Copies of this chain bind each other. A is one copy, B any other.
Amino acid sequence: MTNFTATKSMFHIPEGMIYLDGNSLGPLPKTAAARVAETVTQQWGEMLITGWNKAGWMAQPTLVGDRIAKLIGAEAGHVMVGDTLSIKVYQALASALEMRPDRKIILSDSGNFPSDLYIAEGLIASLDRGHELRVVAPEEIEAHITEDVAVTLITEVDYRSGRLHDMAKLTAKAHAMGAVTVWDLAHSAGAIDVNLAAAAADFAVGCSYKYLNGGPGAPGFIYVAPRHAETARPALSGWLGHDAPFAFEQSYRAGGGIERMRVGTPPVLALAALEAALDVWDMTTMAEIRARSVALTSQFIDAVEARCPMLTLASPRNPNLRGSQVSFRFAHGYAAMQALIDRGVVGDFRAPDIMRFGFTPLYIDAADVDAAVNIIADVMTHDLWDKDIYKIRARVT
């Protein structure tokens, strides 16, 4: 049994804040500050260039990848950390497309995060071989997995609504139709009990600054199924993905397995923070996290609906169809969210009208949910959001 009081004590949450935005940026794990400081002063400062060997910087992306692998049901040695999620989408999609040279359709849905769609558009324009990005409604995607689909590019948990796709079922359908799957786990890793190996997923990508609490700008990751690991061609063929980077050969030879998905120099400082952030996962299991997350999101939905009739649930009511976040629609959602943040309840807003609240049992408990709902009810019932100051849009929402 996980001691959730103990996991909560691992994080720094500012006094008076109920942080329901870990689905956007996880809070600071208390050990991360010291780990980063040590990397800066003891490693960079004292070891300088020798840190690549002595401090093991070069091995970090694989070691951290293996720790993430455990949380997403991936085989050890098949997850590489680095770059950003968007870059990892590009890598996965480019490799996957080449595995189906006779097909031209990339299938995605309108609930996918826009960057995935943008990256696909950009790749299609570069390839200039008549590929088509077919974007359908999320509930129709299964029906659209047909024999002309080259690659399915699907985000498992919808960033706006929290709607959860059935990865195993859609992957099976894709394989039955001869398509290759790319799964985006941005809102899954650390949030729900993903099992890439059991689902027989082909490629998966994700980020580490949300439920994995790696910090602002923490790196992305990519998974390549073992059966593709030695054949997938890396489109972004940088030197550290070479089989022998320090031989400085004139021509590229892909490194073994997941090593080829490295591109350039690893982000050492960010990896130090992420490494520290991953320690908390040794104290729990994804199954326990998921069970408690379902309890928290259900509690939140019930209480908000009981007290705030002006908010319309935008997330699935059935917890089996929902990730670890709850969204409500409200016409003045942006202003309402600013009013909440002003009162210590931190969620975020996604255009056009989504108020988004993330729940992670690592540091959110039932008492936090109660306290948050009290503040939300107060703000909504008394229109406390209706002030000019709450209506000024910031650069980042």
Contacts and interface: CB of A to CB of B under 8 A. Distances in A.
Contacts of A85: 264-265
A318 interface: no
A350 to B, nearest CB: 6
A27 interface: yes
Contacts of A118: 237-239, 242, 251-252
A106 interface: no
B216 A269 contact: yes
A357 to B, nearest CB: 12
Interface in A318-375: 341, 346, 348, 350-351
Given A94-B126, A236-B86, A263-B87, A397 B250 contact: no
B235 A49 contact: no
A36 interface: yes
A397 B215 contact: no
Contact of A269 (B52, B83, B240, B273): B273
Given A49-B348, A58-B396, A237 B87 contact: no
A215 B268 contact: yes
A270 interface: yes
Contacts of A53: 394-396
A46 interface: yes
Number of copies: 2
Nearest to A97: B126
Contacts of A389: none
Contact of A115 (B37, B57, B217, B264): B264
A127 to B, nearest CB: 7
B248 A351 contact: yes
B84 A121 contact: no
A57 B216 contact: yes
Contacts of A49: 21, 24-25, 346, 348
A138 to B, nearest CB: 13
Interface residues of A, number: 92
Interface string A53-85: 100011100000000000000000000000111
Contacts of A239: 86, 113-115, 118
A40 B118 CA distance: 31
Given A21-B49, A122-B252, A246-B397, A236 B87 contact: yes
Q: Which of A46, A118, A248, A341 has the most CB of B within 10 A?
A: A118
A144 B209 CA distance: 47
A397 to B, nearest CB: 5
A42 to B, nearest CB: 10
A28 interface: yes
A242 B52 contact: no
Contact of A40 (B28, B51, B122, B249): B28
A90 B103 CA distance: 25
A19 interface: yes
A44 interface: yes
Nearest to A215: B44
Contacts of A52: 25, 216, 395-396
Contact of A36 (B25, B36, B209): B36
A51 B58 CA distance: 30
14 contacts: A33-B41, A36-B40, A43-B216, A110-B250, A114-B248, A114-B250, A117-B250, A117-B251, A117-B252, A119-B238, A121-B251, A246-B395, A246-B397, A248-B350
Interface of A: 12, 14, 17, 19, 21, 24-25, 27-28, 32-33, 36-37, 40-41, 43-46, 48-53, 57-59, 83-87, 90, 94, 110, 113-115, 117-119, 121-123, 125-129, 135, 207, 209, 215-217, 220, 233-240, 242, 246-252, 263-271, 273, 341, 346, 348, 350-351, 394-397
